[in-house]
Amino acid sequence: MAETIQNLYMGFAIALSPGVLVYAFLGCLVGTLVGVLPGVGPLAGISLLLPLTFGLDATRALVMLAGIYYGAMYGGSTTSILMRIPGEAASVMTCIDGYAMARKGRAGPALAICAVGSYVAGTVSVVALMLLAPPLAEFALRFGPPEYFALLLLGLLVLAYMSPGSMLNGLAMAALGLLLGMVGIDQMSGFLRYAYGVPELADGLGVVAFTVQQSTYANGTHAVVLEVDPETGALRILRWVVAHDCGHVLHPGLVDGQVHGGVVQGIPDALNVQLAYDAAGQRLTGTLMEYALATASDAPPVFEIRHLESPTPLNPLGAKGAGEGGIMPVHPVLAQAVEDALAPFGVVVTRVPFTRAELCDMVRRARFEGPQAL
Amino acid sequence: MITSQRIAGGVLVLIGAVALWEGLRFPFGTLWRPGPAYVPAILSLVLIAIGVVLIAVRHGGTRLPDMQWRESRHAVAILAVCAFIALTLERLGWRLAVAAALLVLLGLLERRGAVFTVVLTVAIAFGSFYLFHDVLRVPLPRGALGF
């Protein structure tokens, strides 16, 4: 407790210094302006306004971000009161009393009550959170999947019960909302659900994902020509072509080496079981004698790289990452090339790694039993 | 008798059926190891069940002939403009797409004056591009014409 109070004292000492207060004021002002926009909540507001803090030191930047957050929270209530359009989810309840007061010509007092109420509640809740955070965190750590599921179920039931009108309508809206939440990558299995080939939907229907693109992505496309011996499963790579875009290439030799290294590391991963265990659970690839570490002999004999430079506007160098584009396409392109090479036998490759023995076995079985999927 | 409640029920059944059909393309899994289709399928079935109940219940909701939606023209126009922006934003670029949408909304739908419409359209389309793209460094689409 004494430590918490001491930290609070230190925090106020820093936050109340004039230089920091100016940035807090600016953050609140800009955050309020952004928060007034319907659909742009505190999180989206912070994401949009993040570049404003790039030139600041950490303390001022954090204070300004906090100001933007609280300003955006308050800004959302302005449209709730004046137009009955909540700026963000937390302002929905403000529509009820605030808009009614505005209709009676008391919009000013409604906005003032909202501001004072937000200030008092926000300050008290922050202090209370600082005091109660340690025991709350200890309690929350006891939560496991059953507790979280029960909590979610309770939330949905309360939502359905508290919704105005029919409880059935509330349940229907809750189910529809959850169904919309299914759009995107399933966190457990990695399947892309209800995206219909739209990459932007991979992150779901979140507002921030649609409105903010602060990250930059490198691109890499690979093509490979190879031969597979159907009798032995032996695989010989003849030519490897990479079209790579990491923005502005600062050092071509380094980027080439990065792509080479990515491909050479990816090939053994696709063709060998790296972590193999026997029936007794004994690890079979415990040393570098068995573990298929990439060597120079794994490098394709013909290696071509084409650099496409589309500089990102998000940093002064226009550079993107150069690591992922080299290694990530290796597995699927190898699987597709092997499937193409063994197409006359009807072998379909659906996973990596695939060993020579497995390929050989697939070809043999395909000859007698028809098309086979690995 | 067709009521708003029954129409809503029908829409829920339709959404649930489509979501179920699409969701079952993925592995369903088991209770112990639920697959990616497990929760969507349950939610779809819940939606279908609620929709059927809403259709079956005889009372509640407004009768179709009594339903009035005075803002329907505005709503349809705004939805059409949203669809236009979604389809053309990447091709035309932010400034052209937003300008075209604002011209339609302000000039044709709201019947504002020509000067007001043009000034506000240019200010918002180009001003927002400058604010987000140049000041806040949020990349916005430029389109084939560079706008």
Q: Sort strands A184-185 and A192-193 into parallel, antiparallel or unpaired.
A: antiparallel
* From A179-183, A254-258, B72-76, B133-137, the region with the lowest mean pLDDT: B133-137
- Does this model's pTM top 0.80? My answer is no
**Residue A39: its pLDDT value, please?**
63
**Residue A206: its pLDDT value, please?**
63
pLDDT band at A212 (very low <50, low <70, confident <90, very high): very low
* From A223-227, A282-286, B20-24, the region with the lowest mean pLDDT: A282-286
**Residue B47: its pLDDT value, please?**
93
What mean pLDDT comes out for the span A41-57?
79
Q: Which residue of A has its CA nearest to B22?
A: A194
What mean pLDDT comes out for the span A278-282?
78
The 10 Å Cβ neighbour count of residue A372 is 19
Residues of A engaging B, defined by a Cβ cutoff of 8 Å? 48-49, 51-52, 166, 168-169, 171-172, 175-176, 178-179, 182, 186, 188-189, 191, 193-194, 211-214, 312-314
**Residue A211: its pLDDT value, please?**
44
Number of Cβ pairs closer than 8 Å across A and B? Answer: 73
**pLDDT tops 90 at residue B18:** yes
Rounded Cα distance, B11 and B5, in Å: 10
CB contact at 8 A, A365 and A258: no
Of A169, A176, A178, the CB nearest to B15: A176
Q: Is B46 within 8 Å of A175 when comparing Cβ atoms?
A: yes
Kindly report the average pLDDT of chain B as a whole number. Answer: 86
pLDDT band at A202 (very low <50, low <70, confident <90, very high): confident
**pLDDT tops 50 at residue A190:** yes
Half-sphere exposure of A41 (CA within 13 A, CB side): 11
**pLDDT tops 70 at residue A208:** no
Q: Which residue of A has its CA nearest to B18?
A: A194
Torsion of CA B89, B91, B93, B96, to 10 degrees: -90
Percent of chain A with pLDDT over 70: 93
**Residue A45: its pLDDT value, please?**
79
* From A110-114, A200-204, A221-225, the region with the lowest mean pLDDT: A200-204
**Residue A97: its pLDDT value, please?**
84
Better-predicted residue by pLDDT, A123 or B17: B17
3-state secondary structure of A235: strand
Please give the full DSSP string across A74-98, using - where no structure is assigned. Answer: HHHHHHHHHHS--SSGGGTTHHHHH
Determine which of B46, B87, B98, B142 to mutate to test the interface with A (most A C-beta atoms within 10 Å): B46
Q: Specify the long-range contacts of residues A194-199, CB closer than 8 Å, at least 24 apart.
A: A194/B19, A194/B22, A194/B23, A194/B40
**Residue A225: its pLDDT value, please?**
94
Kindly report the average pLDDT of chain A as a whole number. Answer: 83
**Residue B59: its pLDDT value, please?**
66
H or E element in which residue A242 lies? strand A235-245
* From A15-29, A31-45, A226-240, B47-61, the region with the lowest mean pLDDT: A31-45
Q: Among A85, A37, A43, A93, which Cα is nearest to A68's?
A: A43
Q: Is A313 within 8 Å of B60 when comparing Cβ atoms?
A: no
Q: Among A105, A107, A111, which Cα is nearest to A91's?
A: A111
- Is A219-271+297-373 CATH 3.40.50.300? no
**pLDDT tops 60 at residue A56:** yes
**pLDDT tops 70 at residue B136:** yes
**pLDDT tops 50 at residue B2:** yes
Determine which of B5, B21, B50 to mutate to test the interface with A (most A C-beta atoms within 10 Å): B50
pLDDT (tens digit, 9 = 90+) per residue, A2-34? Answer: 777 888 888 888 888 888 899 999 989 888 888
Percent of chain B with pLDDT over 90: 28
Of B19, B50, B132, the CB nearest to A171: B50
- A216: Cβ–Cβ under 8 A, 6 or more apart, which residues? A247, A312, A314, A315, A320, A321
Half-sphere exposure of A258 (CA within 13 A, CB side): 20
Of B22, B50, B138, the CB nearest to A194: B22
CB-based burial of residue A108 (10 Å sphere; 0-12 exposed, 13-18 middle, 19+ buried)? exposed
Q: Among A43, A36, A41, A181, which Cα is nearest to A111's?
A: A36
Q: Is B15 within 8 Å of A212 when comparing Cβ atoms?
A: no
pLDDT (tens digit, 9 = 90+) per residue, A333-345? Answer: 999 999 999 888 8
> Hey, what are A115's tokens?
């501001």
Is the complex ipTM more than 0.90? no
Distance from CA of A181 to the nearest CA of B (A): 9
What are the extents of the domains in chain A?
A: 2-142, 158-211, 219-271+297-373
Of A166, A175, A214, the CB nearest to B43: A175
pLDDT band at A210 (very low <50, low <70, confident <90, very high): very low
3-state secondary structure of A240: strand
Q: Is A179 within 8 Å of B44 when comparing Cβ atoms?
A: yes
The 10 Å Cβ neighbour count of residue B70 is 7
**pLDDT tops 80 at residue B135:** no
Q: Among A108, A44, A122, which Cα is nearest to A78's?
A: A108
What are the extents of the domains in chain B?
A: 4-66, 72-135
- A140: Cβ–Cβ under 8 A, 6 or more apart, which residues? none
Residues of B engaging A, defined by a Cβ cutoff of 8 Å? 8, 12, 15-16, 19, 22-23, 26-27, 34-36, 39-40, 43-44, 46-47, 50-51, 53-54, 60, 132-133, 135-139
